[in-house]
Amino acid sequence: MAEAMGFFTDTTVCIGCKACEVACKEWNQLPAENGGVRELSGDSYDNTRKLDGIHWRHVRFIEQFKGPYDGRWLMMSDVCKHCVQAGCLEVCPTGAIVRTQFDTVVIQSDVCNGCRACIAACPFGVIDINPVSGTAQKCTLCYDRLQVGLEPACSKACPTDSIQFGAIAELRTRAEKRVAQLKSQGVAAELYGADPGGPLGGLNSFYLLVDKPEVYGLPRHPELPTTNLAKSGGLSVASAAVLGLLAIVGLRKRRMDEQSRGGGGNV
């Protein structure tokens, strides 16, 4: 396996320009929604609102204002965390979700049956169904670009280096130095997901935050889907049966969708 690669996101230098969102959309040819027109939310500059099957990058805007001159904006470009211990990969009944040679997690659309088991298993809510393909999709960390030695489109487009791409070991060292620098300036900075001994074995996309993880929409203690299950043989069998049923239902639905689009095939 090649060296583990990923992202270190320094939220303190994010300017909310959304260049990463645009670059991700363009490179991955992700479809627009509602005919390409998104209605404004009316209560935030954050109009994408969340990650889903057609938004693999999302710039969060957190407005913390008590008055016109008292407050701040926190911004963070969010993405799949490419967990070292990935719940989505664990529950996938078809083997569609794989770990690449770069230690990243990729969903193979041609193997996915759209059963949605991975959506429920992800503690970060990054996976959803792409309505065009009918399959679960998320960030691939630009696997196609990595294979030919190119940087992911989002980090390449980031004008402030808020999103930094590289070898995980090097990124951790860089992140720790940045935290120390900020703390010396009186900034309450902390790293989220950088500790390989932490939840999920660490994240291959980790963050520098200046507020609690929950403020950024991140769970403080992300868990694998099996963590909350009782360790009983009966429950394990029942869980396997449910996943099998989901796989059958998902496959049947996908074939019906293909037929409705003229794709043929027998159900």
pLDDT tens, 118-130? 999 999 999 999 9
pLDDT-above-70 percentage for the chain? 81
- Measured in whole angstroms, the distance separating CA 128 from the mean position of its chain's CA atoms is 10
Single-letter amino acid, residue 210? V
**In the structure, what pLDDT confidence band is assigned to residue 265 with cuts at 50, 70 and 90?**
very low
The angle formed by the CA atoms of residues 164, 109 and 129, to the nearest 5 degrees, is 80
Q: Where are the domains of the chain?
A: 1-223, 229-267
pLDDT of residue 175: 98
More confidently predicted of 213 and 244: 213
Q: At 190, phi and psi to the nearest 5? A: -150, 155
Residue 138 neighbours by CB distance under 10 Å? 26
pLDDT of residue 33: 74
CB 45 within 8 A of CB 16: yes
**In the structure, what pLDDT confidence band is assigned to residue 232 with cuts at 50, 70 and 90?**
very low
Across residues 54-63, what is the average pLDDT?
94
Q: How far apart are CA 78 and CA 59, in angstroms?
A: 6
Instruction: Fold for 1-223, please state it.
Output: Alpha-Beta Plaits (3.30.70)
**In the structure, what pLDDT confidence band is assigned to residue 68 with cuts at 50, 70 and 90?**
confident
- Given a cut of 50, whether residue 72 has pLDDT beyond it is yes
> Is 178 in a helix, a strand, or coil?
helix
Mean pLDDT comparison of 66-80, 121-135, 219-233, 249-263, highest-scoring range: 121-135
DSSP-derived secondary structure for 54-89: TBS-EEEEEEEEEETTEEEEEEEEE----BSS-HHH
Mean pLDDT of the chain, nearest integer: 88
pTM: predicted TM-score of the whole model, two decimal places: 0.83
More confidently predicted of 172 and 49: 172
What are the tokens at 264? 């043929």
Closest C-alpha among 129, 127, 149 to residue 140: 127
Helices then strands, each counted (H, E), the chain: 7, 10
More confidently predicted of 17 and 69: 17
pLDDT of residue 46: 81
Single-letter amino acid, residue 102? F
Instruction: Write the CA distances from 110 to 13, 97, 126, 136, integer angstroms.
Output: 38, 11, 20, 10
**In the structure, what pLDDT confidence band is assigned to residue 45 with cuts at 50, 70 and 90?**
confident
Closest C-alpha among 198, 189, 239, 188 to residue 219: 198
